[in-house]
Structure 1
Amino acid sequence: MQIIKILIFAGFAGILISNAGCKSDQSQSPATTGTEELQPVPVPKFDRDSAFSFVGKQVAFGPRVPNTGAHRQCRDWLASQFKSYGLTVLEQGFKATAYTGETLSGTNIMAQYKPEAPHRILLAAHWDSRHIADSPLSTARRDEPILGADDGGSGVGILLEIARQLQSHPANVGVDLLLFDAEDHGDDNDQTPNPESWCLGSQYWSKNMVPSGYHPKYGILLDMAGAKNATFTKEGVSMNFAPAVTNKVWKLAQNLGYGTYFTETKSGAITDDHYF
């Protein structure tokens, strides 16, 4: 997708961000289950060098286009990496028909921290890369696949770093790290837009959820989060379906000193994995 974005999953709302290990909003009553009060926990320092190295590992496989050897090798590495941090890994294989008519073999990967915990949050990204560059900046190579360091790789790198941190800094909530496949295999034709040609993995997962009956309190989707001088606006689908969660995330970012990146600008709706 051709835009920088951090998106809130539609329909998932209600849990305080403090439940995921951040400071609570003192203007609200603490969330409870029975007589148990959910308390904030210390937040570990995010290691950007570690996250960057995870992006480099993905890029080293080459373009992660479905039905290719690089795609299969990266899939196996991702599952193995999550397992090395003690997470429970669920792989959901699926077949999907691309707009080109090609049948794609995809795999959605979910890595669960504390799978037994009743309170859960979902963090997601897509791990495939686009099969053609189709960029107006390069007519000579627009039909070649891309490495996807930013578009795909950066979100996955962040989630891998979160998985690594969870191993050494326990949290008091269940966390699911979900990697969607075949997000970027859509038809980039502005004249005859076809939104459902995109996000094939998330479309499949939303209709065949793994685990069965899965219902997190809320979800955050990372896509193209690693661009140089990135800024993040309040995107239309997120604000329409989960404005309270979106505003809470933006407020937290601003309180932490990242208001330059998380702006109050509102932008239009985007077709991405959170939409489906």
Structure 2
Amino acid sequence: MKNNMKVLALGLLLAAGLPACDKKGNAETATAEAPATAAKENVPAFNADSAYQFVAKQVSFGPRVPNTPAHRACGDYLINQLKGYGANVLVQPFTGKAYDGTSLDLRNIMGQFNPKASNRILLAAHWDTRHVADKDSLNPKKPMDGANDGASGVGILLEIARQLQANPLTGNVGVDLMLFDGEDYGQPDNTGPYKEDTWCLGSQYWAKNLLPKGYTANYGILLDMVGAKGSRFAREETSRAYAGDVVEKVWRTANQIGYSDYFPFQDSPGITDDHTYIIQHANIRMADIIAYDPSSPDGFFGPYHHRHTDNMDIIDRKTLKAVGQTVLHVVMTEQ
């Protein structure tokens, strides 16, 4: 994903004839309420220290580039962690074809909580690391740590898994934690004519080969680059168009429980990310929580994006807390 050539995914979905949801609240403002609001709803406290350690653990394997020992070892770790938290774990191995013809050994990993419930919520992130730091002036052909771009979203989902084990879902609501592979092996700039659909290989494959077979969800939330200090999360255009009510739910929740600084009522352009293919091929409404920085060199993504500065130095517990508590609140109040 996440390349300026991949901006404005909305047009591709409109061309496919998918209906858009209403866009709401473009001019809204909000003031922060005390984070203690979450406790009033009997929502457990998201542990940012735990999430931080989950991020650090992934980074400790080294860059999680497909076809490397670090990638294999980290995938095994994620599977074992989800099993350890009582999830029903489904693993979808597949071979992806990279932009340069490389065959990639990939695995999508899903952890299901309350799997018999018919009302399901899909929470997703990608767990692989980009194979090159192609926006960096130093060592651009070497892989990066991907602490924020990849590990941060997975770290939050692992902490949510830990919370769901300690606070089991009741009733007819279930949560599926999906870890997509091969998201960040897309075509670098200046490598010949642009090729379609070289990013988000895992979500493309899963959306066309659903596991479990016939899977559907009431809605989904994608986490991408959700751990950097000072992050702000704007309402991305594709999400607003096709999952407007989900965007509304997430941003209002964040503001109600005290995280308006992180979730301003601000809109951002559409991008191609894993949610694009889930909307297009699986017909699941999915909102993308992704950091937006229009002042950065790229005009959208932070200054660490696809650079070696995407390491543990930029990961901030407060940002992990804001995103994790918001998503946990959304999930737990569906019961």
SS of corresponding position for 2:214 = coil
Structure 1: gaps (5+ residues):
4-9, 14-39
One-letter amino acid of the structure 1 residue matched with residue 243 of structure 2: A
Residue pair 1:96, 1:106 contacting (<8 A) in 2 also: yes
Query: C-alpha displacement at 1:140, in angstroms?
Result: 2.3
Q: How does 1:1-80 map to 2 (within 5 A)?
A: 1-2=1-2, 42-80=42-80
Cα 1:65–1:148 shift into 2, 3 Å: same
Residue pair 2:182, 2:201 contacting (<8 A) in 1 also: yes
Q: Report the RMSD for the aligned CA atoms in angstroms.
A: 2.0
Cα 1:58–1:246 shift into 2, 3 Å: same
Query: C-alpha displacement at 1:248, in angstroms?
Result: 1.5
Residue pair 2:236, 2:270 contacting (<8 A) in 1 also: yes
* Equivalent of 2:147 in 125, 146, 149: 149
Larger fraction in strand: 1
Cα 1:84–1:51 shift into 2, 3 Å: same
In structure 2, distance between residues paired with 1:100 and 1:261: 38
In structure 1, distance between residues paired with 2:275 and 2:108: 14
Query: C-alpha displacement at 1:2, in angstroms?
Result: 4.8
In structure 2, distance between residues paired with 1:187 and 1:262: 31
- Provide Cα deviations, 1:37-65, integer angstroms capped at 9, x if missing partner: xxx96210000000000001100100000
One-letter amino acid of the structure 1 residue matched with residue 106 of structure 2: G
Structure 2: gaps (5+ residues):
4-17, 22-39, 278-335
Taking structure 2 as the reference length, what is the TM-score of the superposition? Answer: 0.69
Query: C-alpha displacement at 1:218, in angstroms?
Result: 0.3
Residue pair 2:92, 2:107 contacting (<8 A) in 1 also: yes
- Provide Cα deviations, 1:11-51, integer angstroms capped at 9, x if missing partner: 9x9xxxxxxxxxxxxxxxxxxxxxxxxxx962100000000
In structure 2, distance between residues paired with 1:140 and 1:253: 38
SS of corresponding position for 2:265 = strand
One-letter amino acid of the structure 1 residue matched with residue 238 of structure 2: V
> May I ask how many residue pairs the two structures share in their alignment?
242
Taking structure 1 as the reference length, what is the TM-score of the superposition? Answer: 0.84
One-letter amino acid of the structure 2 residue matched with residue 165 of structure 1: Q
2:229 paired residue number: 228
1:127 paired residue number: 127
In structure 1, distance between residues paired with 2:163 and 2:132: 34
SS of corresponding position for 1:117 = coil
* Equivalent of 1:163 in 131, 136, 161: 161
In structure 2, distance between residues paired with 1:95 and 1:63: 19
SS of corresponding position for 2:264 = strand
